[in-house]
Chain A
């Protein structure tokens, strides 16, 4: 009985002590002591945790580098593929824009029928201004057919094989086109040169030609259909002692960047060579 009382007393005392300690702890009376105690634990745990992480990274790193390198290679390949796609799409956009302009041109000139062709080469001789296109007699192309772009006259078909043709540009030194100056309402002759510059000759001295005047094909001679745009007058050379005025021309077509052209297939050029008088022997 005495033992039971003493145990109960001991238990009660222990509970009171623990309860008192808890009350003091919750009341914040042990904060400095608990801070020191937990601070030591946290520091020790942090030290162990950082060392463990360092060792783990050291052991796992080689595998990660291999993975990263593999991934990097994959991404580089993907970037190269996407860049190629971007270039292809840019080319497609450019081509679409050119074709769209050509379609607009053919809609605004419905009296003609056209065949589109890509420019695939130039004459190997620098003395000549010819281009090679990828449409030939199989596509209905015949010698003498006029070639245009949405900007204006390009030239005429000079030679044809089955799947290609050679086009003489109007800038060729041997090219001459009968033109009509719209504002001055007079005819003249357009000639090419070895540098690719265009000039007008045989302009009547009476004609009032101004810089900026629009130049169109006249249709005379039967080489080209009338009213195809060629360019604008830039400078006029008028000397009273000469029979005709001359002028330099800014072509509407950029001949250095020809990519796609239209061949007018329903125009039959007239060969007037037999009518040209030859000098008597």
Chain B
């Protein structure tokens, strides 16, 4: 039942993303709070609802974005899949896993968005997109990764209290 925290949390994250985070660009890129939250959530031990969260987040964010919902769904599910895969391989260094997922997840999400917009007919130069949007966004997401990972770890302990007991 405590998993219902996803609704207000992701709703708040969409609002913060649209109203505040998007107002602080680095070059032409900005952080993706939802992506970082999903990556951090999926990396927590015992979390079994990461794909549900990704589905919910993609539906919510598509209300605010011109990009279609399935791009966000694919992107966020890809991030969760990446996190679950890396978690099994580098489980002893969760922060390293968090940075890796943030880096690769942002890259994947941006490549997906870029491919969709190019197929839609938008004139997006690849080098400009990488240099002015993707790389600054990766940097900003990496900056967000540590505090968000800490918050999501506390939240995971609250949602799954049995994890604290030996």
Contacts and interface: CB of A to CB of B under 8 A. Distances in A.
B126 to A, nearest CB: 11
A132 B66 contact: no
Given A132-B18, A173-B123, A194-B124, A124 B132 contact: no
B2 to A, nearest CB: 26
Contacts of B133: 126-127, 194
Interface stretch (A50-58, A115-123, A204-212): A115-123
Interface stretch (B40-48, B91-99, B112-120): B112-120
Interface residues of A, number: 23
A158 interface: yes
Given A173-B123, A194-B28, A125 B19 contact: no
Interface stretch (B3-11, B29-37, B81-89, B150-158): B29-37
A174 interface: yes
Given A174-B120, A195-B28, A123 B66 contact: yes
A194 B129 contact: yes
A126 B29 contact: yes
Contacts of B66: 123, 125, 128, 130, 158-159, 166, 168
B23 interface: yes
A132 B22 CA distance: 12
Nearest to B15: A121
Contacts of B19: 120-122
A196 interface: yes
Interface string A125-140: 1111010100000000
A161 B63 CA distance: 10
Interface string A185-199: 000000101111000
Contacts of B28: 126, 194-196
B90 to A, nearest CB: 28
A196 B137 CA distance: 16
A195 B121 CA distance: 17
B65 interface: yes
Interface in A210-244: none
B65 A124 contact: yes
A168 B67 CA distance: 12
B114 A127 contact: yes
Q: Which of A127, A159, A193, A195 has the most CB of B within 10 A?
A: A127
Interface in A136-171: 158-159, 161, 166, 168
B165 interface: no
B128 A124 contact: no
Contacts of A158: 66
B129 A122 contact: no
Given A122-B23, A174-B122, A195 B64 contact: no
A124 B64 contact: yes
Contacts of B123: 173, 191, 193
Nearest to A159: B66
Interface string A244-279: 000000000000000000000000000000000000
Contact of B18 (A121, A126, A174): A121
B41 to A, nearest CB: 18
Contacts of A121: 15, 18-19, 22, 64
Contacts of B121: 174
A256 to B, nearest CB: 8
27 contacts: A121-B18, A121-B22, A122-B18, A122-B19, A122-B22, A123-B18, A123-B22, A123-B65, A123-B67, A124-B18, A125-B113, A127-B67, A127-B110, A127-B124, A128-B66, A128-B67, A130-B65, A158-B66, A166-B66, A173-B117, A173-B122, A174-B122, A193-B123, A194-B28, A194-B129, A194-B133, A196-B28
Q: Which 10 A-B pairs have the closest CB atoms?
A: A121-B18, A122-B22, A121-B19, A173-B122, A174-B122, A126-B29, A124-B17, A124-B65, A126-B133, A195-B28
